[in-house]
Amino acid sequence: MKSNCNLRYIATILCLVLIQACTSKEEVSVEDSIDPKVVLVTLDGLRWQELFSGADPSLINHTEYVSDTAKLKALFWRDNPQSRRQVLMPFMWKTIGLEGQLYGNRVFGNHVNLTNNQWFSYPGYSEILCGFADDNRINSNDKINNENTTVLEYVHNQAGFQGKVAAFASWDVFPYIINEMRSGIPVNAGYEDVVDPYTEEEKLINQLQHQTPKLWESVRLDGFTHQLAMSHLVNHRSKLLYIAYGETDDFAHEGKYDEYLKAARRTDDLLSQLWKTLQSDPFYKDQTTLLITTDHGRGVQPIDQWRHHGKSNIPRSDEVWIAAIGPKIASKGEINTIQQLYSNQIAATIAKILGFDYPEERAGKDLLMFLQP
Ligand SMILES: [Zn+2]
């Protein structure tokens, strides 16, 4: 009995030594064993002007667009653009500005543009997601299923990615842009409930989004979209998740510059919470790249043009931006060199980060030579 115990003791020690050896081996090869994930986020129609310079001096004092200029200035006015942008979007500047990269500050000649010839939402999102413009077929915001394949669908069709791709959007046209029916990718958009809610939070949001005022018929408030996306992220282990926020564009169209700025500030908080959640979950931590962009810009002059966008009547509303942060993204902050990038490069970039060469010939080239030099 005693020798039996000794043998067991020795066997246990041997096992522990082996486990320890295996664990240290794993620790050494963590860098090689990274299992990449991507979260793509779009902020509808947020101008590069506000992202890179904060509140616009010609608009923050404008009583036509701001109900209480003193209050808004207390919130968002600072004497220089660097302080203004930090107070408007602190996550963008204190986290991505230090650890990631931001493209599109035209003050430095750093340009990001759309390649589509429409400069409104469906064509903008389709260009981002498919990697190319299709002006002949995609020229309205109507609820028409996209005949083109998005990078979401391409990735979803790869081995190991079924059920690992999902989209959450405030605007109810996204199920058509992503072609939910053909692609099989779950797209929760507009005021759509979560089918088979998984958590108490999802059940609650299914109720709340119908119990609160609807500001817009086709766009729900971003907080609902965000909470559903976060719940999915935590409970369903996504490898590619797309979140499309919408409030910035709708408040701008209404001519409410104060609400537009406040929406930008809230969205920045949502991004911050998203990044904190990713970085505190071992499944995502140090393995997830966050890409953020917008579907179009807005006008500049004459002054009322900031509200709208569109190729036909709003010049310069094809001016956009891209931000990125992640395990292999170099910490270069704001890019201040002369350069021209396009929204059609994002799809190939997503595919490349996940380990695929995007086969769509019309797509722009991936951005990894800039993001991961
Ligand atoms: Zn719009």
Alpha-carbon distance values, 341 to 154, 189, 331 (Å) = 23, 29, 19
pLDDT of residue 373: 85
Per DSSP bridges, beta strands 339-342 and 110-113 are: parallel
Q: Compute, in angstroms, the gap from residue 328 CA to the centroid of ligand 1.
A: 33
Rounded Cα distance, 268 and 316, in Å: 24
CA of 247 to the centre of ligand 1 (A): 10
pLDDT over 70, % of the chain: 91
Domain count within the chain = 2
234 CA distance to ligand 1 centroid (A)? 31
28/162 same-domain check: no
169-201: pLDDT as tens digits: 999 999 999 999 999 999 999 999 999 998 999
Q: Could you give the C-alpha distances from 281 to 95, 168, 354, in angstroms and in order?
A: 18, 20, 19
Reported as a single tens digit per residue, the pLDDT across 343-362 is 999 999 999 999 999 999 99
How many angstroms separate the alpha carbon of residue 119 from the centre of ligand 1? 9
Residues 12 and 102 in one domain: no
Are 145 and 23 in the same domain?
Answer: no
200 Cα: distance to centroid of ligand 1 (angstroms):
34
User: How far is it, in rounded angstroms, from Cα 107 to Cα 59?
Assistant: 19
Task: Supply the pLDDT for residue 33.
Answer: 55
Report, as an integer, the average pLDDT of 330-334: 98
Same domain, 115 and 156: yes
Tell me: do 122 and 170 sit in the same domain: yes
308 and 241, same structural domain?
yes
Distance CA 44, CA 294 (A): 5
Ligand 1 centroid from CA 249, angstroms: 5
Ligand 1 centre to CA of 120 (Å) is 6
Q: Which pLDDT belongs to residue 23? A: 41
Residues 6+ apart with CB under 8 A from 346: 40, 128, 131, 291, 293, 322, 364, 367
SS3 59: helix
Q: How far is the centre of ligand 1, averaged over its atoms, from the C-alpha of 346 (Å)?
A: 21
Task: Examine the pLDDT at 76 and tell me if it is beyond 80.
Answer: yes
- Residues sharing a CB contact under 8 Å with residue 83, sequence separation 6 or more, in sequence order: 54
9: pLDDT confidence band, cut at 50, 70 and 90? low
What is the distance in A from the centroid of ligand 1 to the CA of 248? 9
pLDDT digits (tens, 9 = 90+) for 83-114: 999 999 999 999 999 999 999 999 999 999 99
Ion ligand 1 contact residues with beta carbon within 5 A: 249
Flag whether the pTM goes above 0.85. yes
Cα-to-centroid distance, 163 and ligand 1 (Å): 31
CA–centroid distance, residue 327 to ligand 1 (Å): 33
Cα(73) to ligand 1 centroid in Å equals 25
Q: How many angstroms is it from 147 CA to the middle of ligand 1?
A: 22
Q: How far apart are CA 21 and CA 7, in angstroms?
A: 21
Report pLDDT for 8.
Answer: 55
Find the 195 Cα to ligand 1 centroid distance in Å: 29
- pLDDT, tens only, 274-313: 999 999 999 999 999 999 999 999 999 999 999 999 999 9
The DSSP secondary-structure symbol of 92 reads I
Coil, strand or helix: which one is 26? helix
Identify the domain containing residue 22 by its residue range: 1-33
Q: What angle do CA 182, 38, 190 make, to 5 degrees?
A: 50
Cβ atoms within 10 Å of 309's Cβ, excluding its own: 27
* Ligand 1 geometric centre to CA of 122 (Å): 10
Instruction: Please state, rounded to an integer, the average pLDDT across all residues of the chain.
Output: 93
Task: Say if residue 184 is in the same domain as residue 216.
Answer: yes
Q: Are 33 and 26 in contact (CB under 8 A)?
A: yes
Check whether 7 has a pLDDT greater than 70: no
Question: How many angstroms is it from 250 CA to the middle of ligand 1?
Answer: 6
Model confidence at 15: pLDDT above 60: no
On whether both 203 and 310 belong to a single domain, the answer is yes
- Which tokens go with 198? 């998984």
Q: Which amino acid is at 78?
A: R
| Closest among 177, 82, 168 to 120, alpha carbons compared | 177
Ligand 1 centroid from CA 129, angstroms: 18
**Residues 147, 18 share a domain:** no
pLDDT band at 364 (very low <50, low <70, confident <90, very high): very high
148 C-alpha to ligand 1 centroid (Å):
22
Q: What is the residue type of 309?
A: H
| Claim to verify: residue 27 and residue 122 sit in the same structural domain | no
Q: Same domain, yes or no, for 193 and 281?
A: yes
- 3-state SS, residue 112: strand
Q: Give the C-alpha separation, 108 to 124, whole Å.
A: 24
In sequence order, what are the beta bridge partners of 147?
none
CA 246 to ligand 1 center in whole angstroms: 9
φ and ψ of 224, to 5 deg: -70, -45
Is the separation of the CB atoms in 105 and 334 below 8 Å?
yes
How far apart are alpha carbons 186 and 178 in whole angstroms? 9
Distance 308 CA to ligand 1 centre (A): 6
Tell me, in angstroms, the distance from the centre of ligand 1 to residue 46's CA: 10
User: Distance from the CA of 310 to the center of ligand 1, in angstroms?
Assistant: 8
Give the SS3 label for residue 261.
Answer: helix
If you measure from the C-alpha of residue 121 to the centroid of ligand 1, how many angstroms do you get, rounded to a whole number?
Answer: 6
* CATH code of the domain in which 53 resides: 3.40.720.10
- Determine contact, residues 105/52, Cβ cutoff 8 Å: yes
Instruction: Indicate whether 222 and 294 sit together in one domain.
Output: yes
